[in-house]
Amino acid sequence: MSETKKLYVIGWPIEHSRSPLIHNHWIKKYNLNAIYAQKAIAPDDLAEFIHTLKRDECLGFNITIPHKEAVFEAVQRRDVLANKLGASNTISWRDDVLYANNTDGYGFYTNLLDHSDWRKTDQPVIIYGAGGAARAILQAMHDAGAPHIYIYNRTQARAEKLLADLGIQATILTGLTELNECLQQAGLLINTTSLGMNGENDLDIDLSLMPKGAIVADIVYTPLQTGLLKQADDLGLVTVDGLGMLLHQAAKAFEIWFGILPQVDEELRDLVLADL
């Protein structure tokens, strides 16, 4: 019998990762000889972790905060999208060298289409936030042909750098008055910040300004219904929660390692929800 292959999610800290639960569910479902574990790697130990990996033992790994950029820099090859984003969340082997992908944008966009009719709207998109997740989401929405994209971030310089790095034409909203004006036309608002996490520091935003039928997406998934999504739900807007992004980015990573795009179904959602 061949040896069980290993997969990891690495981060610092890593205790709260749901990736082992998700991937081990699929490994069992598809009867694969592999095991997925979490590994706490301090920034100073990252280089050693990467250089001691062996292809015949480990199929690859996922990366979470704070290593997404550092691992990207450390590996030898990257796909076009990861290269553009300057960050990677999934590492696999290609021709005996480590290969970087980024599946976050895929995860967000696939989940958006799963839970809304975004494709049928031609109204502007507002991305709230300009951090690492916003980077992948901005690129995904741009690639999907979003008609006009607006960005709003607490630190405006970071939004400017994001647009410059990606070379994407979008408009930066410089204050709350501009944000409120823009909300009146927007078909989709995406919270890419950590605001609303653990029920704290909700976004200070008036969603009643948004047109009827508009979509509000949050990438925070603890709690599943953030204050932002609750406000949207109470107003009868369409809501897209953050758990689906997590599941779909994982599905794409799983496909990279095993050549199988696993199903993101209610059974898996319930499994992860029970662990939140």
The gap from C-alpha 99 to its chain's centroid, in whole angstroms, comes to: 19
Q: What does residue 109 show for φ and ψ, rounded to 5 degrees?
A: -70, -40
CB 190 within 8 A of CB 206: no
User: In terms of Cα–Cα distance, which of 160, 177, 166 is closest to 142?
Assistant: 166
For residue 227, the minimal CB distance to ligand NAP (Å) is 13
Among 41, 133, 189, 272, binds ligand NAP (CB under 6 A): 133
Helices (H) and strands (E) in the chain, counts: 11, 12
Among 246, 251, 256, 268, binds ligand NAP (CB under 6 A): 246
CA-based Rg of the chain, rounded to a whole angstrom? 19
Please say if 68 is a catalytic residue.
yes
For residue 86, the minimal CB distance to ligand NAP (Å) is 12
Window contacting ligand NAP (CB under 6 A); options: 3-11, 118-126, 177-185, 217-225: 217-225
**CA–CA separation, 222 and 196 (whole Å):** 8
Residues 4-43, mask of contacts with ligand NAP (x by CB under 6 A): ----------------------------------------
Residues 180-199, mask of contacts with ligand NAP (x by CB under 6 A): ------------xxxx-x--
- Report the interhelical angle of 266-273 vs 243-258 (nearest 10°): 120
Question: Known catalytic residues?
Answer: 68
Q: Which residues bind ligand NAP (CB under 6 A)?
A: 65, 104, 107, 129-134, 153-155, 158, 192-195, 197, 201, 219-221, 242, 245-246, 249
